[in-house]
Amino acid sequence: MLLLCFLTAVFSFLQLTSGELFWNVRDPFKMDLFTIESRLNTTNSQLNDNSLNFYLSNNSINVLANLNAVQAGKIDRRAEENWWNLYPFGEKFHDVDMSDQPWKDLQIDLDFYFPFYGFRFNYSFIYPEGFVAFSYPEYVQPPYTFPNPLWPLQHDPSFIAAFLSDQSFVHVGETQISHVWYRIVTRPQYRWKQATLDTQERAGLLTQPARVEDPALLDAITRDIRENMVGTIGYTADYALIVTWERMGYGGQPKYLKLNEYDQIKKWQNTYQLVLTTDEHRSFVVFNYANINHTSSTSAGAFHGRGGRQSAIVGMNGGNGTGFYEFPYSAQGDSYKLAEFSSTQTKGRWLARVDEAIVYGGCSNASHGKLTTSDPWNGMIGGNSINVSGPCFRPNDYITMEIDEEIFDCAYISMVKARCIVPFNMIFKTGPVAIQIAQDGRSYSWHSSLYIHPPALTRTEVRLLSHTDKIDPSAHKNHWHLSDIENLTITWTAANISSKAGSRVDIVLWGYREDVIDREFLEVGAIARNIENTGKFSFNQKMLSKSLIVGNLWKKFWGGAIQIRLSKDDQTDYGKYVMWSGAVPFGWYFRDTWKANLGANWALKLCIEWYNYDGLRDNFLRDVYTNIPCPCTLSQALNDFGRFTPLPTCEMMGDSSCIYTKGAQHCIVSTNSMPDSGTEMCCYDYNGWLMFSQDYEQSTDYLRYFSAGVPYRANPWGGYVFKKPLYVPTWSNFYNDLLPYDVCCRWAGHCEFYYWRRATSGCQNYEPAVIG
């Protein structure tokens, strides 16, 4: 007997000193590095007594000899199963593991605000059952219904569910192999709100548990969101909460006592991840699914984790009856497909924006659905790019877009994005318009709507400045409306027009004109071509080459807009491609050409040309004077908000620049027009009295202090049918009513011609607004 014990000890010693590392030894039960590591006590990297006894009775001495070599904090838990679609998690990345108690929440303070369904939360509750809540949920026997139809009599919690179902922590013997990990990721304080990615900064552990500074990880999250969802180019993830449910069993799963049943256990484990990321203004949710095997629980009537009355729920509930957004495969028996498919370019990854209304991210293989656009609005002039997502695109798809019955081609960017550039001079209307996308050029089964802004209300992306704007704040500001100005500056946001470094742009002029039959909007000249995209360009008008003028278009076009566009068409550039200024007269640009061809009195000749032409048209003043008289006082004008609305360029509570109505405190324009588009416009001085054009004194200096309101031939808002002359929003009013003011009053110095055709309406027939 003693001899037998001695031989056994010698044999064991030879095995211990063989030098063969345990992770190169594969026993019949496939005990690998991850399996050994998962049984370590993560607080001291040592086996507890029960685990030690378990290993002594079930494992070879080669494995036990090298247990101390295992360092749990050095292992990436994604490596064994190739779960690389998950973001890093586990001890190595300073995650904290929740305790083994089903339906026990862990409340954590986020230290930042996470906007969700219109609310802002700085705390959350993490549950082992596959969801993160923002209010306490009550345990309910499946099946679940959200939002709770019995609210407010019963609680309706606010939560985000990656895989909401009854789940359990799986054990082999006394050793737990299921975990719920979490950590909060932030940027270093000196990097907050900076858009620069890839700074090569390393992660750092903060003083509180489960809190790290990891800009590299946040950069990766930012890039994943930008690449897989339209309208997110300007987003940068400043904060993230990462929760990982690792190897979770279904609710009611039995406890396994034998090590050789590990493969059977592994078969029914679910591993998935939920990422909440925000910049405290916009917020996004990322679902990552590595392995989904069971879809339900015993409490839901499932058999071995499948079937039953209801499968796991995936989606977001706003709480308090706000609403529930359901993801694909939610509450369906095939929810295992969450790990096989995705809405992004990464298998098993799903994405949504959740700060206000829920916006589904990525793409879908459905045959029809709703489009997501980079912006829910667009300018009326066109030329702007629209990035869209909805169907999953293929490189060979023939992608076309239809807007308001106009069809044009789009370009493939990626599986989840297509880029459509709206052609110029196509959509001359405002308000909501229907848009549709086809992948074959024929079947328009994906749809949405786009709101078209009139140019006067569109955010000006090209800013027009002059030299005196910087050196003399009190100087005259309307230099771009003058004809004798020389030093001018144009600025724009270079990063918005192009996403590529080294891009080059053209600065060109587009002129607008119309007659009684049709309208024209054409490129009439350029300020510079193929210049560096720096965001600023200064020039002297005298130095501009006359070769930049297009043909003889100077004869017909007196004003329009300045366009900045990429010099080279590049569909892979994610920028806006085109930017526009507001409406601007071209006296400073065509001055020398007009003078050379029309003589020194070129401005007066243009004014008289307009005066004679306008006199031959219909007399719209008669109907305006009779049917839309001006209120007599400012108080009456402010109270009559049903028939009049503030003029956007001259209102006491908004833009008070009053470019065309100097000396006015407040101006109003009638909400309704006459059938021929005639519209009333009235202005009031700082004493609250109606200003009359008949009080004008013939002096150019007088215009700096007094310009009365006048009736308009065309309404600034346009009118139905929009595309016809006199009814085009902004441009008809600019061409017929505002540009003649520049020509006669500012350029020629003979404003009497303009006021003879646009005399202020009296208030004798005005009936004040009443209530009741």
Asked if residues 634 and 767 have their Cβ atoms less than 8 Å apart, the reply is: no
313 shares its domain with 373: no
140 shares its domain with 245: yes
Residue 54: domain span: 2-74
CA-to-CA distance for 772 and 656, rounded, in angstroms? 33
Mean pLDDT rounded to a whole number for the chain? 83
Residue in the structure block whose two tokens are 């054009």? 693
287 shares its domain with 167: yes
Which of 327, 361, 395 terminates a domain? The answer is 361
- Taking alpha carbons only, the member of 261, 96, 245 closest to residue 168 is 245
The pairing of strands 444-453 and 377-379 is parallel
Which of 344, 361, 378 terminates a domain? The answer is 361
Q: How far is CA 445 from CA 376, 437, 448, 450, 540, in A?
A: 19, 7, 10, 16, 52
Q: How far is CA 532 from CA 528, 538, 566, in A?
A: 10, 13, 10
Q: Could you read off the pLDDT of 82-108 as tens digits, one per residue?
A: 899 999 999 999 999 987 766 667 888
402 shares its domain with 479: no
Is pLDDT of 542 > 70? Answer: yes
Give a yes or no: residue 421 inside a domain.
Answer: yes
The count of other CB atoms within 10 Å of the CB of residue 596 is 10
606 shares its domain with 582: no
Is pLDDT of 235 > 60? Answer: yes
DSSP string, 139-186: P-PSSP-SS-TTTTTS----EEEEEES-EE--EETTEE--EEEEEEEE
Asked if residues 308 and 331 have their Cβ atoms less than 8 Å apart, the reply is: no
Contacts of 436 (CB under 8 A, 6+ apart): 371, 401, 402, 444, 445, 446, 447
The pLDDT assigned to 55 comes to 38
The predicted model gives 418-442 an average pLDDT of 86
191 shares its domain with 96: yes
Nearest 10 degrees: Cα torsion 374, 378, 379, 385:
40
Give a yes or no: residue 767 inside a domain.
Answer: no
Of the two residues 408 and 286, the one the predictor is more confident about is 286
Asked if residues 712 and 451 have their Cβ atoms less than 8 Å apart, the reply is: no
Q: Could you read off the pLDDT of 585-624 as tens digits, one per residue?
A: 999 999 999 999 999 999 999 999 999 999 999 999 999 9
Which of 330, 361, 392 terminates a domain? The answer is 361
Specify the CATH number for the domain of residue 416: 2.60.40.10
333 shares its domain with 432: no
Give a yes or no: residue 694 inside a domain.
Answer: yes
Give a yes or no: residue 770 inside a domain.
Answer: no
Is pLDDT of 73 > 80? Answer: no
Is pLDDT of 8 > 70? Answer: no
Give a yes or no: residue 769 inside a domain.
Answer: no
650 shares its domain with 542: no
Indicate the angle between helix axes 602-616 and 587-598, nearest 10 degrees: 100
Q: Could you read off the pLDDT of 137-185 as tens digits, one per residue?
A: 877 667 778 888 888 888 889 999 999 988 888 888 777 888 999 999 9
Asked if residues 248 and 170 have their Cβ atoms less than 8 Å apart, the reply is: yes
User: Which tokens sit at 672?
Assistant: 């309704």
709 shares its domain with 669: yes
The predicted model gives 220-224 an average pLDDT of 96
In sign, the C-alpha dihedral spanning 219, 224, 227, 233 is: negative
Q: For residue 199, what pLDDT band results from cuts at 50, 70 and 90?
A: low
CA-to-CA distance for 144 and 157, rounded, in angstroms? 12
Give a yes or no: residue 580 inside a domain.
Answer: yes
The pLDDT assigned to 478 comes to 63
Give a yes or no: residue 79 inside a domain.
Answer: no
Q: For residue 203, what pLDDT band results from cuts at 50, 70 and 90?
A: low
Is pLDDT of 33 > 90? Answer: no
Q: How far is CA 188 from CA 192, 218, 233, in A?
A: 7, 11, 22
232 shares its domain with 320: yes
497 shares its domain with 586: yes
Contacts of 431 (CB under 8 A, 6+ apart): 451, 452
Is pLDDT of 732 > 80? Answer: yes
The pLDDT assigned to 487 comes to 87
Query: Exposed (0-12), middle (13-18) or buried (19+): which is 191, by Cβ within 10 Å?
Result: middle
The pLDDT assigned to 681 comes to 96
| Count of structural domains, the chain | 5
- In terms of DSSP H, where are the helices of 189-287? 215-228, 262-267
Is pLDDT of 560 > 90? Answer: yes
Asked if residues 754 and 612 have their Cβ atoms less than 8 Å apart, the reply is: no
Give a yes or no: residue 762 inside a domain.
Answer: no
467 shares its domain with 401: no
